Amino acid sequence: MSQSLMKAWRLERFGGALTLEDVPVPKVRAGGVLIRIEASPLLTYLKAYVDGKLTFYNPPPGKFTPGTNGVGVIDAVGQDVWHLKPGQRVVFSPHFVAGENVEDPAQILIGLTAFGAGSATMQADWRDGALAEFAQQLAIDPWLVNPYHARCGEIDFQAREGEECLASNVSLLLEKIRLKYLEYGIKDKPYVAVKADAGTYGMGVMMVHDAAEVRDLKQGFEAVEERARYELGLIKQDEVFFQVVPAKPAAAKP
């Protein structure tokens, strides 16, 4: 990128003047990306925010560029960013939560507000939002908020149809998840949730830690029939399935 200045809307302070100014193009930072903004929404409450009427918000101190999410093209990527490349068109969100194992991790909406212990320090590092020609955003790995998934068509365990698709998808997903676990130092064993396309709730979910568990459905049907009956609700023709739930022990009398 050759230009050194950009247009940006600058809010003097909460309830202060909002002006369009020429400001330096920000330099890309470690862990972030610089995005050339194509479009950014004007939220319904933006005027009340600029006027300082939304007193429960915590904007950055001093002059800053407001604005939240948007659409744009990555102009540059910072150090320690591997999954994004310049030239990619992206949709971005300003919400960021500190990856710290504490009860109340710091959170910010870049260019809008901050909440949680330590959020003021985080907001000082990432204060300017999207109402500008360029904006810096934290480069969050999409896998952290949108897990890997795959879909097969019709699967009939009794007719043995569609099982090859299921086995292949589970194997591929587990390998991709293993690589992510290595990247983030996760020590747990990777797993895939196999779920029937039958709504959000109810039975029909089976946790698989190894593709061999799915291949058993092809190579040893009887060996996994009990598990399939219990976890996937499998029943045979002209058969009624009953699930017996153990009664809770009676509470001891005082």
List pLDDT tens digits, range 61-97.
Answer: 899 999 999 999 999 999 888 888 999 999 998 888 8
**Residue 220, pLDDT score:** 46
CA distance 170 to 184: 21
Amino acid found at 80:
D
**Residue 207, pLDDT score:** 85
Query: For the whole model, what pTM was predicted?
Result: 0.58
Instruction: State percent of the chain over pLDDT 70.
Output: 75
**Residue 209, pLDDT score:** 87
CA distance 118 to 36: 29
Average pLDDT, the chain: 82
CA of 100: how far to CAs of 104, 107, 139, in Å?
9, 11, 17
Average pLDDT over residues 242-254: 67
**Residue 223, pLDDT score:** 47
What are the tokens at 10? 């600058």
pLDDT band at 34 (very low <50, low <70, confident <90, very high): very high
Predicted confidence (pLDDT) at residue 42 exceeds the cutoff of 70: yes
CA of 237: how far to CAs of 82, 158, 180, 197, 240, in Å?
52, 9, 42, 20, 9
**Residue 243, pLDDT score:** 64
Predicted confidence (pLDDT) at residue 233 exceeds the cutoff of 90: no
Average pLDDT over residues 184-192: 87
Cite the beta strand spans of 16-68 per DSSP E.
18-24, 32-39
Q: Which of 19-23, 64-68, 202-206, 208-212 comes out lowest in average pLDDT? A: 202-206
Predicted confidence (pLDDT) at residue 218 exceeds the cutoff of 60: no
pLDDT tens digits, one per residue of 118-158: 899 889 989 999 999 999 998 777 677 667 888 887 766 56
- 5-141: CATH, from 3.40.50.970, 3.90.180.10, 3.40.630.30, 3.40.920.10: 3.90.180.10
The structural domains of the chain, with segments of one domain joined by +, span: 5-141, 163-232
**Residue 204, pLDDT score:** 62
Predicted confidence (pLDDT) at residue 23 exceeds the cutoff of 90: yes
